[in-house]
Amino acid sequence: MRSYENQFSDNRPLKRTREEKQRLLAELKETVRGMKPHNTLRPSIIARIKELEVDLAAPPPPPRDRRPREEERFGTGPRLPRRVRPPREEGQG
């Protein structure tokens, strides 16, 4: 099955809010605490924790009303006319 634009299977990172990132960071730290030192997943989880800490250390983006407006946005141009289907012929099913 083919994906369409902006489908979650488009191999893009999920956008999470700051609160979701903080919750995920706490869960990952708790997971690492419970792991044994020789676990093979431990380094990848520690790397993800470091990424989240760097991401959370950055200042939050300004609220939407103070963000600069993007002039070029999808859907701002003229709309194309809809395609009209020809009427069905009698006797075809």
The CA distance from 45 to 36, in Å, is 13
Q: Looking at the domain assignment, is residue 92 inside a domain?
A: no
Q: Is residue 76 part of a domain?
A: no
Domain-embedded: residue 32: yes
pLDDT at 91: 66
Q: Is residue 46 part of a domain?
A: yes
Q: In sequence order, what are the residues at sequence separation of 6 or more whose Cβ sits closer than 8 angstroms to the Cβ of residue 9?
A: 3
Inside any domain, residue 29: yes
Is 7 within the bounds of a domain? no
Asked, for residue 82, whether it belongs to a domain, the answer is no
Count of domains observed in the chain: 1
Q: What is the per-residue pLDDT for 48? A: 95
Reading the chain (93 residues) residue by residue, the pLDDT tens digits are: 556 666 666 666 778 888 999 999 999 999 999 999 899 999 999 999 999 999 999 887 777 666 556 555 556 666 777 777 777 887 665
**What pLDDT sits at residue 54?**
94
Token digits of residue 55: 């991401």
Q: For residue 56, what are the domain limits?
A: 18-60
